[in-house]
Amino acid sequence: MSKLTLIGGITAAGQKLNITISGKKISELTIDTPVAGNEILDITGSLIIPGLVDLHTHLREPGKEDAENVESGSRAAVKGGYTAISAMPNTDPVADTAGVVEQVFSLGKAAGLCDVFPIGAVTQGQRGEQLAEILAMAQSAAKVRMFSDDGHCVFDPLVMRRALEYVKMFDGVIAQHAQDPRLTIDAQMNEGEISAKLGLKGWPAVAEEAIIARDILLTDHVQSRLHICHVTTAGGVELIRWAKSRGINVTAEVTPHHLLLTDDLAESYDPIYKVNPPLRNVRDVEALREGLADGTIDIVATDHAPHPTESKECEWQAASFGMIGLETALSVVVKTMISSKLMTWSDLVDRMAIAPARIGGYAEQGKEFALGNFANITVVNPNKTWVVNKDASMSKSRNTPFHGLELPGVITDVFFNGARVLQDEKVIGKI
Amino acid sequence: MTNVMNGADISRALRRIAHEIIERNRGSENLVILGIPTRGAFLSARVADLIAEIEGKPIRRGTLDITMFRDDLRMRAPKALLPTEIPLGGIEGTDLIIVDDVFFSGRTIRAALDALGEMGRPKTVQLAVLVDRGHRELPIRADFVGKNIPTSRDEIVKVHLTEIDGSDEVLIEGQR
Amino acid sequence: MNRHLLSINDLTYEDAVLILDTAAELAKISDAPVKKLPTLRGRTVVNLFFEDSTRTRISFEAAAKRLSADVINFSAKGSSLSKGESLKDTALTLQAMGADAVIIRHGASGAPARLADQQWMTGSVINAGDGTHEHPTQALLDAFTIRKHLRPGQKDLSGLKVAIVGDVLHSRVARSNVLLLHKLGAIVTLVAPPTLLPVGVESWPVEIAFGLDLVVAKSDVVMMLRIQRERMADLFFPSEREYSRQFGLNGDRLKMMQPTALVMHPGPMNRGLEISADSADSLQSVIVEQVANGVSVRMAVLYLLLGGSPLSAENSKVLSDKVVI
């Protein structure tokens, strides 16, 4: 069995650690002396962290493969330091049956670059009316534990209640896209001074906050588990903080772009900044950063949303909502949270690897380095910077809002189940 | 800076031009005096007043802005328009006197002729200028000239009028 | 002036006054026997209308033709172009055709900005109305009309009280007018039910009134906006009757207006809904004149944007009469 020792790396906690990978697992952890006979990879000066875990990824396969497929999405994930991603079900057909989730699951295995865990739809066709065959999906080979109608809100409170109750059978979790559809008909951007000036229909913060409030109370009432996707509002953060103080089992995620970007970017009318939920104002961004720092928001999730160029090269109203984000996520979090001293690297590892794996129930991912664990490791040079170039993205799509931006933190190598899938910043081979 | 005409010189020149216009046109019956803004307009008003004083009756007068008819429009940023006021009765069949301050390449007058062409058909069009500095680029001539001042191309002729500059004088700037 | 006219914010105070002054001079052309100037000869102006608007399109066409420009009309409505993709391809076609200026009306806010920004074409982009965002030349002709009647011989509209009445939320005319009237020193009051005022209007340089009776007597100008009947279905107000009663310019309110005050409307009007027939046809109404003034103002805009050398991307100052030739 091949053995590779990474020497010279430092953990997020600041400790020197040499890791030896044998086959798929970690076989040795030492402080200084490299073991003779092993292949050596010198990563002095770099951080070694558990492979990142994303709970919110749009892979577009089946149905919209012009924008992305499981394989290209996996490549983008690896480039961004992720060893596990979660495929949202708003595909075509929707992933609301065991058949489709198993298809996505095996496509992920075939690509072999990272774990691809399908998320199942809550309702049939994501139409919000009838529950999907949640149990069948949970019992399938994909072993789905998280369910979401992401893209749409589960708006009917009765449907949401039933879904929350139903998943208690197997300790599943419902991930809600909080957006009251009646308050956001044809909404284009955050409702506020900027939208009033630009003549773009507003998406008011209350449309998110009201659903969050309702679902927290429902979750408490039926004693189930709730996860709030892409929180964007200060009010939402406050509600979640209150819920946790009452012991209600709710978790929440924030995207990297909502930690950095604000709604004034829409003034250019460039739909690269068009996203759902929308970019909000400075006060919201500050609240989100505080919430992520103090753990009110449990994780960072990318909401990686690829779209073909033509759907972003038009007038705002006709453009698709969404930004890609797998490749820039870590760097944006470093820039917004670590460079600003709001979080430490240990916090980052928790928010981007450990907590996501725990919420998603991914047993082999997001673990502190320990003997016998699967070797899912990401190597980061925290001091180097890089300039985002949309034309160099691994994803099939180019819709990043960060093109031209210089960001801190370069991911150099990634190991997925022991295999080196990213080498010197290049995505190589698969298992 | 050299002064080539002072206030008294300008007064005398304008008075002579007024008399010449009346003489050439055998009276003032059919006259319309149009000045090219900015300074040509002030001069034309003075000439019209002088003719009115001599003849003892009002003289029809106005202004003609030629900005839109310039042949060098494409070479620079658009210029602000100046007022065009055509007297009641129009210019049809009149003896029209165009008045300008400095006569140089002739392009301003060509533009003025184009502008007039859109408005009607005068019986005659005559040109009165305070200063003729030579260097014509087009075959256009003046009928009434205040003063001939030979200049070299790179000299600048400045006309100051009390109405806008506070004093009456003609100055030449440059190597002399 | 900027190379493009997408929003009133593209104009400084001086730019706006210059446009009004230039329009005043050009207005005299319509009294001349030959209504043409050679200024834009050889220039190509394209009317790119993605939304129906015969009135505005004809106004721009007349303006361009009076300056001797070549006019090409491109109506995307009803053609095979699909939404979204068409803008870029259309722009590339126009560039290939050598358009010096594109006058664009589009249903999507920001479409002219996309055209101008993307650098798909080198000509000037003039916004003839984009979604609910702005309609700069309408505001300019409104300001021109007001100045002509209420501040003749003066530069701007200082101190004039203007009431803008109606569906401000969805009105690009309102947005442009608020910006321009404020820039020119007028005091603006928006009159509308709260449902038809945008969130964030508190930061606009305006007063707010929830009924026309509150302002009609002291306004120098009452500018009525068209109210669309479909807004009722979207729950903005309960009935036409209720709307009219509170916000309509009916005969009684017309009598309350100062005799010198103006009645304005950008058109098209819903006679009987936001404005009674009497008010529309009253002596104080300048609604028909607004249309005529539109041509002069648009001529001024075309001249100032296109009449000189092809402008670089930077602002270029219009020269005063100090240049000697």
CATH code of C211's domain: 3.40.50.1370
In DSSP notation, C209-257 reads: ES-GGGTTTT-SEEEEPP--THHHHTTSSS-HHHHHHHH-B-HHHHHHS
In this structure, the answer to whether residues C71 and C163 fall within a common structural domain is no
How sure is the predictor about A170, in pLDDT bands with cuts at 50, 70 and 90? very high
In this structure, the answer to whether residues C278 and C203 fall within a common structural domain is yes
Domains of chain B: 8-70+87-152 (3.40.50.2020)
Examine the residue annotation and report whether C183 is marked as an active-site residue of this protein. Answer: no
Return the CATH fold of A3-48+372-382+408-427: Urease, subunit C; domain 1 (2.30.40)
* Mean pLDDT, residues B14-40: 96
Percent of chain B residues topping a pLDDT of 90: 85
How sure is the predictor about C83, in pLDDT bands with cuts at 50, 70 and 90? low
Q: A205 to chain C: which residues are within 8 Å by CB?
A: none
pLDDT score for A73: 97
**In chain C, how many domains are there?**
2
Question: For chains B and C, what is the number of CB pairs under 8 angstroms?
Answer: 79
pLDDT score for C232: 80
In this structure, the answer to whether residues C228 and C282 fall within a common structural domain is yes
In this structure, the answer to whether residues C92 and C232 fall within a common structural domain is no
In this structure, the answer to whether residues C107 and C61 fall within a common structural domain is yes
In this structure, the answer to whether residues C49 and C188 fall within a common structural domain is no
In this structure, the answer to whether residues C126 and C210 fall within a common structural domain is no
A3-48+372-382+408-427 and A50-360: identical CATH topology? no
Query: How close, in Å, is residue B67 to chain C by CA atoms?
Result: 9
> A407 vs A273, A342, A401, A423, CA distance in Å?
18, 17, 13, 20
> A234: helix, coil or strand?
helix
Residue tagged 């150099």 (tokens)? A412
Tens digits of residue pLDDT in B50-104: 999 999 999 999 999 999 898 888 888 888 899 999 998 899 999 999 999 999 9
> A90 vs A4, A172, A277, B80, CA distance in Å?
40, 19, 16, 59
Domain hosting residue C69, numbered range = 8-134+291-306
The one-letter amino acid code at C89 reads D
Residue C110, domain member (yes or no): yes
| CA closest to A309 among chain C residues | C85
Q: Measure the CA–CA gap between C111 and C117, rounded to whole angstroms.
A: 10
In this structure, the answer to whether residues C171 and C266 fall within a common structural domain is yes
In this structure, the answer to whether residues C13 and C117 fall within a common structural domain is yes
In this structure, the answer to whether residues C141 and C280 fall within a common structural domain is yes
Q: Which residues pair with A49 in a beta bridge?
A: A378
CA-atom Rg of chain A in angstroms: 21
Q: C114 to chain A: which residues are within 8 Å by CB?
A: 269-270, 314-316
> A381 vs A49, A386, A402, C37, C38, CA distance in Å?
11, 11, 20, 67, 66
pLDDT score for C82: 52
pLDDT score for A268: 94
Show the tokens assigned to B126: 């005559």
Domain boundaries, chain A: 3-48+372-382+408-427, 50-360
Q: Measure the CA–CA gap between A38 and A342, rounded to whole angstroms.
A: 39
The model carries a pTM of 0.89
Contact B134, B151 (CB under 8 A): yes
pLDDT score for C52: 81
Residue from C22, C44, C56, C189 carrying the catalytic annotation: C56
What's the mean pLDDT when you consider all of chain C?
Answer: 88
**A50-360 domain in CATH 3.20.20.140?**
yes
> B114 vs A386, B40, B92, C75, C325, CA distance in Å?
63, 17, 15, 36, 17
CB of A313 within 8 Å of a chain C CB? The answer is: yes
CB of C283 within 8 Å of a chain B CB? The answer is: no
Residue C321, domain member (yes or no): no
| Residue A313 scores a pLDDT above 90 | no
CB of C319 within 8 Å of a chain B CB? The answer is: yes
Highest mean pLDDT among A199-213, C40-54, C64-78, C102-116: A199-213
In this structure, the answer to whether residues C111 and C146 fall within a common structural domain is no
Residue C318, domain member (yes or no): no
Q: Which of residues 280-309 of A touch C (CB under 8 A)?
A: none
Residue C3, domain member (yes or no): no
How sure is the predictor about C98, in pLDDT bands with cuts at 50, 70 and 90? confident
Tens digits of residue pLDDT in C123-166: 899 999 999 999 999 999 999 999 999 999 999 999 999 999 99
Contact A43, A392 (CB under 8 A): no
Phi/psi at A176 (5° precision): -95, 135
The answer to whether the Cβ–Cβ distance between C175 and A316 falls below 8 Å is no
The answer to whether the Cβ–Cβ distance between C110 and A310 falls below 8 Å is no
Residue C258, domain member (yes or no): yes
Phi/psi at C18 (5° precision): -60, -40
> C11 vs A120, B158, C137, C176, C184, CA distance in Å?
53, 33, 12, 11, 11
Residue C96, domain member (yes or no): yes
pLDDT score for A431: 47
CA-atom Rg of chain C in angstroms: 20
Show the tokens assigned to B22: 């009346």
Residue C325, domain member (yes or no): no
pLDDT score for B109: 96
Tens digits of residue pLDDT in A61-112: 999 999 999 999 999 999 999 999 999 999 999 999 999 999 999 999 999 9
Show the tokens assigned to B102: 């400095």
Query: How close, in Å, is residue B95 to chain C by CA atoms?
Result: 19
Q: What proportions of chain B, in percent to the nearest 5, are helix, strand and coil?
A: 30, 25, 40
Query: How close, in Å, is residue C108 to chain A by CA atoms?
Result: 6
Q: How open is the CA angle C35-B90-B17, to the nearest 5 degrees? A: 125
